[in-house]
Amino acid sequence: MLQRLADRAAHELKNPLNGAVLNVEVVRQRARRPGMDASTLVPYAEAAATELGRAAELVDGLLALARPAHAPVDLIAVLEPLIALYGAIAAQMGGEVQAEHMQTGALESDAEPDAVRFALAAVLDVAIADGTVRCRVDGRGERCAVEITCAERDIALPASVRRAIVHEGMMLSDVEHGVVILFPRSSRGRMDGAE
C-alpha cells in the first residue's frame, strides 16, 4: 500500500515539476533574444509559479503523512508525577507541594509533551525553594492554565527559562507569588463555546 502511494505521489509530483521546468526554459530562452518585451514572458512565469504551487501542495501532503500523529497531552497526567517528585524534595526542606485541580476531566494541550514537562518542571524547580507550593489547573478558553504559586515570595524564573517556555508556544503570566503557564488547548477535546 505505501509503495503504491509513494509511486503515485512521485508520478503526481513529476507532472507539475515538468510543467514548471518547461515554462522556466521558455522564459530563459526568450529572455536572451535581443529586444524582447519582458511582458510577453509573464504568462510563462505565471504558469511556472502555478505548477510549483501544485508541487508544493503535494509535498505538504506527503510530509503530513510522514509525520506521526500528534496526540494531545493531558496536563494533569503530566503534572501529577512532577508534583509527587517535587513534593518529596520539598518535604525534605520542610515544605510541600499541593495540587488543586479546578476542572474535572482531562485538560489536553496540543503542546509538545517534552515542552510541557520542561515548563512545569522548570517552574516547580524554582518554586520549591520557598517551601510551600500550590499548583492549580484549569481551562481558560483557548488555553489550559497551570498556576504555580509560592506561599511567601514571587517565583523568579531565569530569563533563559522564560524564553525557552515561550519559544515552545506557551505563554507566561506573572501573578502574586507565582506564575501561570498557559498551554494551547487541544482542539480535539474542546467543544465550541466551552471554557
pLDDT value at position 22? 94
pLDDT value at position 193? 39
Say if 120 falls within a structural domain: yes
pLDDT value at position 192? 37
pLDDT value at position 111? 84
Say if 110 falls within a structural domain: yes
pLDDT value at position 178? 92
Q: How far apart are CA 86 and CA 22, in angstroms?
A: 63
Structural domain of residue 49, as residue ranges? 2-66
User: What CATH number is given to the structural domain containing 128?
Assistant: 3.30.565.10
Say if 108 falls within a structural domain: yes
Cell 507566561 belongs to which residue? 172
pLDDT value at position 70? 67
Number of domains in the chain: 2
Instruction: Count CB neighbours of 66 within 10 A.
Output: 7
Full-model pTM: 0.60
Give percent helix, percent strand, percent coil of the chain, each to the nearest 5. 55, 20, 25
Q: How far apart are CA 162 and CA 28, in angstroms?
A: 51
10-residue block means of pLDDT along the chain (195 residues)? Answer: 69 88 93 91 93 85 68 86 87 86 71 89 87 84 86 87 90 92 74 39
pLDDT value at position 24? 93
pLDDT value at position 190? 43
Q: Residue 156 gets which letter from DSSP? A: -
105 and 163 within one domain: yes
Name the grid cell of 190: 474542546
